[in-house]
Structure 1
Amino acid sequence: MLNKVKDYIEKHQIIENKDRVVLAVSGGPDSMALLHLFTQLRQEWGIKIAAAHLNHQLRPEAEAELQYLQSYCAAQKIDFYSHVVDVAAYARREKKSIEEAGRDQRYQFLRELCQQLSYNKVATAHHRDDRAETVLMHLLRGSGIKGLRSIMPVSGSLIRPLLTVGKSDILAYLDENAIEYCRDDSNYELQYFRNRVRLELLPLLQEYNPQIVTALNQLADIAAAEDQVLEKETEALWEQLIISEQNDKIILNNQQLQALMLAYKRRVVLKALTEIGGPAGWSLNDIDYVLDLAMKTGSAKYINLPKGILVSKQYDELIFSHQRPEAQPFVYEITIPGEVLIDETGELFSFTIISGEDPQEYGVAAYLDYDKLEMPLYLRSRRDGDRFEPAYMGGSKKLKDYFIDIKLPAVERDRVPILASRHQIYALLGYRLGRNALVDADTRNILMVKREERKNSDPGSMGLTKIEKDYPLC
């Protein structure tokens, strides 16, 4: 078995010289075989290994397993690390199954340990029988090609060097080398989905095909190869569709997306959701929900998805972003000179009077003729019935219609800071000036409004006044 595993490692480039590998060990037969194999290979391949064990606090045998692993690793001169976590409590808190909760906690422990010890890989003891079980589990849940790949030999820093051997190979190897291992009776409890697949479904399928494990592994290999091709093509399509890509927002060309075949549409959407919200937890329903939105005609629409993701369709753009809290109505009276921090949006604005000679020397800002402004001035959010007279356009129009004209998403409209008196709007800060206080040749005093870098999040420290009551502005 040693040579078989070595050939598999070399074929898939799983290990490189000077790798530092954390071995996930439970004390069971699979992880003990992994531990023994890597003990044999560490000197030959010039790698550093350590063993890591997580006590889930689910079984009374856990303490004995810990002591056995400590003793074995000490005898083999292998660094050993362990951690205890209450998986049942975590499962209740996060509303997850025990299986899912245990997996979450194991991989979190292993990732954190790698970071602390500066190890670059984690090896698990999954074998070909495990891979066959996972294919079946994914098939029963209606998975696509990506899910049918099942367990891969390399997934980022996670490696599975035993996928080339089966359970019977492992047990024979342990027997030949007189290696003791622990028995986990929970592997035979039928309350767990994987156990039912292994103990009931696979034996039944073996009656139809004695080589069912081999067949399912073959299916996984085929799916992996085809998925690789589709992923490469999806990457090329992504480069064509992407309009903007930032940490908190992705914008795709929706018109071009609609021209793709359904399989590619789904992959592009999945990539966008993964980039903005992480890889785990996206269902076909989530993806098709986004595609339904993308196909809707008309102006801006949006949907909310799990993980706090907002997807909006704005004309020919499909935008993926993190949900922002819904903006609350706001109104602040302005002191000149002074600053206003809008608590509801987090924006900070300064208000200064400057000479009318050359405002451009002050940089990017909104400039208004101070002497044409009706006092007091307020910084507020929009209201029903607002009308606006945009500069250089002639006439007035409903503010709602103006926002539609400039294709401002509905979810952003309540966040626009409006500079106004009680009776008229002078500017939509960041968007457009009104025509009723424009700077001209006769202007003597200019009100300069600038968006500032936020230095202090406590409005009380700046002597600002927030108007709590509903002023009849405009």
Structure 2
Amino acid sequence: MEKLVLKTIKKYGLILPGQILVAAVSGGPDSVAMLHLIRKLTVSWGVKIHVAHLNHMFRGAQSEEEACFVAGMAQEMGLDCTVESFDVPSYISRTGLSPEEGARNIRYSFLQRIAQACKADAVMTAHHANDQAETVLLHLIRGAGPEGLAAISPREGNLIRPLLETGREEILHYCREKRLAYRMDPSNEEDVYQRNKVRLDLIPRLKKLNPQIINALTRTANICRSENQLVQEITEEAMGQVELVRQERGATLDLNRLDQFHLAIRRRLIRKIVDDFTHAPGSLSFDHTEDILNLRPGKEICLPGRLYARKEKGRLIFSRCPNFPQEDFDFFTPVPLRVPGITRIPQLNISLETEVIPWPEPHYVKNKNSAAFHLNVLDGQLFVRGRLPGDRFQPKGLSGTKKLKDFFIDEKIPHEQRKAVPLVISGDKIIWVVGYRTGEQTEATPLNEKALWIKVKKLSRA
């Protein structure tokens, strides 16, 4: 393992002599092995390591014990250490983020703050080859292109991942060999969220087809990363050739110039222009991008972020949506669903109760306020919100997506009632327009062993 990690460090230039590093240490085997090994490898390099641990306050006393464990380990190694606590459950309740995304935001903000205070050259995390393989599969399942399949990078800004080409089995073997103590997070063994299902179910099945599946998927990520970098460079060069004119409330470009490029570059140009304009990278889905490219002259479409696009006089025009006043889209802040548990939406006087149940369930009855979903829809970002301009939905039984606005029209939902229709969201996908229709291929089937049952109830007035 030492030779493999050292090879990764040298290949990507992750650590240089005399640097100051912040080590993100959770107390699990991955981060403990990383800290022990990097300290050993760099002891003659004059590298200084500052240990950082954030207690996310998800698991009460257990989280407190892990924080004490990391602080004690750092002290035994003679390393400076910063341990802080942050009430992430309250944060995600306020912001509507998923537990995974909320914890990640707070954790990286904490790490960057410590790095700045220490004047560190880099922050190192313990992502390894199995994490890489899981990420490739998750992105593949969602329908990603080369950019998504590139997955995790060995270096991202000042973030470095020296274990990225090392498998989890090697890490656990290293811990046993060096007799390193560590702490295990029991939530990693729960098969509720999609990443855990990939780790616990899908990868073991794939190993029967290819025992080297982790290496194969890691290689796929490396290939896609290199090719994605090339396409990004081509896209940057193309940006200077489309006669893009940026304005305060919009941007326009020459369609003839755009059409001279390969479809792959046209898609990237569209996404980059919208990302730069909205300052919200990733806001455009594949369907939105295709809709823009296929626009007919004189027509316009609404996009996420209160934008619309139209083709006019040989130019593609992006503008703020002047024809969608706030009162027409009185959506409430996205609220993460507790799984299992009860999530209250006081704005609509309802609650959503969720539970993971054995499937098929003989007492289950589907109706407008009850639906059962297969667990693959749980990707760590399950939440409920109101409609947004540009929303698209693939109703059960439909081969493609359609505008949510058109779905409402087809269902004869009065305009004044539409803003009060809750939407259950997984990632960027609507899986249930509550009271009307579930999404295509989201409901539990007889082939599933477990299902997520969601029930909508009126809040008590008492």
| TM-score bracket for this pair, using the shorter chain length | 0.5 to 0.7
Match of 1:71 in 2: 72
Match of 2:219 in 1: 218
Match of 1:45 in 2: 45
In the alignment, is the contact (CA less than 8 A) between 2:249 and 2:320 conserved in 1? Answer: yes
Match of 1:336 in 2: none
Match of 2:107 in 1: 106
Match of 2:176 in 1: 175
Q: Residue 279 and residue 304 in structure 1: after superposition, are their counterparts in 2 closer, same or farther (change >3 A)?
A: closer
Where does the alignment leave 5 or more consecutive residues of structure 2 unmatched? 327-462
Structure 1, residues 272-327: CA drift from partner, whole Å, max 9, x if none?
233232434542233234334xx33138x563423x55556553444556678989
Give the structure-1-normalised TM-score: 0.63
In structure 1, the residue corresponding to 2:53 is in which secondary structure?
strand
Structure 2 Cα separation of the partners of residues 281 and 159 of structure 1: 26
Larger deviation: 242-251 or 16-25? Answer: 242-251
Shift of 1:268: 0.9
In structure 2, the residue corresponding to 1:240 is in which secondary structure?
coil
Structure 2 Cα separation of the partners of residues 251 and 46 of structure 1: 52
Structure 1 Cα separation of the partners of residues 281 and 110 of structure 2: 19
Structure 2 Cα separation of the partners of residues 119 and 180 of structure 1: 27
In the alignment, is the contact (CA less than 8 A) between 2:297 and 2:311 conserved in 1? Answer: no
In the alignment, is the contact (CA less than 8 A) between 1:54 and 1:82 conserved in 2? Answer: yes
Q: Residue 112 and residue 309 in structure 1: after superposition, are their counterparts in 2 closer, same or farther (change >3 A)?
A: farther
In the alignment, is the contact (CA less than 8 A) between 1:56 and 1:87 conserved in 2? Answer: yes
Q: Residue 327 and residue 197 in structure 1: after superposition, are their counterparts in 2 closer, same or farther (change >3 A)?
A: closer
Match of 1:305 in 2: 304
Match of 1:375 in 2: none
In structure 1, the residue corresponding to 2:83 is in which secondary structure?
strand
In structure 2, the residue corresponding to 1:303 is in which secondary structure?
strand
Match of 1:291 in 2: 293
Q: Residue 83 and residue 250 in structure 1: after superposition, are their counterparts in 2 closer, same or farther (change >3 A)?
A: farther
Shift of 1:5: 0.7
Residue 315 of structure 1 aligns with an amino acid whose one-letter code is: K
Q: Residue 215 and residue 326 in structure 1: after superposition, are their counterparts in 2 closer, same or farther (change >3 A)?
A: closer
Q: Residue 312 and residue 53 in structure 1: after superposition, are their counterparts in 2 closer, same or farther (change >3 A)?
A: farther
Match of 1:156 in 2: 157
Q: Does 1:20 align with 2:45?
A: no
Shift of 1:3: 2.2
In structure 2, the residue corresponding to 1:44 is in which secondary structure?
coil
Structure 1 Cα separation of the partners of residues 92 and 291 of structure 2: 28
Give the structure-2-normalised TM-score: 0.64
1:417-456 paired onto structure 2 within 5 Å: none
Larger deviation: 314-323 or 33-42? Answer: 314-323
Structure 2 Cα separation of the partners of residues 116 and 200 of structure 1: 42
Where does the alignment leave 5 or more consecutive residues of structure 1 unmatched? 329-474
Structure 1 vs Structure 2 CA RMSD: 2.6
Structure 1, residues 187-244: CA drift from partner, whole Å, max 9, x if none?
0011121111000111111111111111111211221122122122212211212434
Match 1:315 to one of 313, 316, 319: 313
Larger deviation: 117-126 or 140-149? Answer: 117-126
Q: Residue 326 and residue 298 in structure 1: after superposition, are their counterparts in 2 closer, same or farther (change >3 A)?
A: closer
Is the radius of gyration larger for structure 1 or structure 2?
Answer: 1
In structure 2, the residue corresponding to 1:146 is in which secondary structure?
helix
In structure 1, the residue corresponding to 2:226 is in which secondary structure?
helix
Structure 1 Cα separation of the partners of residues 131 and 102 of structure 2: 19
Residue 93 of structure 1 aligns with an amino acid whose one-letter code is: R
Q: Residue 105 and residue 324 in structure 1: after superposition, are their counterparts in 2 closer, same or farther (change >3 A)?
A: farther
In the alignment, is the contact (CA less than 8 A) between 1:70 and 1:80 conserved in 2? Answer: yes
Match of 1:34 in 2: 34
In the alignment, is the contact (CA less than 8 A) between 2:71 and 2:81 conserved in 1? Answer: yes
Q: Does 1:82 align with 2:83?
A: yes
Shift of 1:246: 7.5
In the alignment, is the contact (CA less than 8 A) between 1:303 and 1:312 conserved in 2? Answer: no
Identical positions, percent:
38
Structure 2 Cα separation of the partners of residues 324 and 123 of structure 1: 45
Structure 1, residues 78-137: CA drift from partner, whole Å, max 9, x if none?
221223222222333333322222222222222333334332322110111111111111
